[in-house]
Amino acid sequence: MKHVNRSLEDLFAQLGLKSDHESIEQFIAQHHPIPNEVALYRATIWTPAQRTFLKEEIIGDGEWALAIDELNRRLH
């Protein structure tokens, strides 16, 4: 299996969000901090489809896991 290094910009595009640097920083500033006891995919900021994608990728340690980990760190 080929490993792909996905960026935060790629992740935001995959989630259907604006993926330019300024939009990402604005999103993080708007939604930070998520309480430590709330898993990233359980935060109320996601649509059901986004939540499912994040959960499956985190649990399955998928190709998006590193980008999701970065987003998780920045939002918590």
Is the entire prediction scored with pTM above 0.95?
no
pLDDT, residue 20, reads 97
Return the number of other C-beta atoms located less than 10 Å from residue 5's C-beta.
8
User: What is the band of 65 on the pLDDT scale with cuts at 50, 70, 90?
Assistant: very high
pLDDT, residue 62, reads 82
The domain limits of the chain are 8-75
The domain made up of 8-75 has a fold known as Arc Repressor Mutant, subunit A (1.10.10)
pLDDT, residue 3, reads 60
pLDDT, residue 19, reads 97
pLDDT digits (tens, 9 = 90+) for 9-55: 999 999 999 999 999 999 999 999 999 999 999 999 999 999 999 99
| Pair 55, 41: CB distance under 8 Å | yes
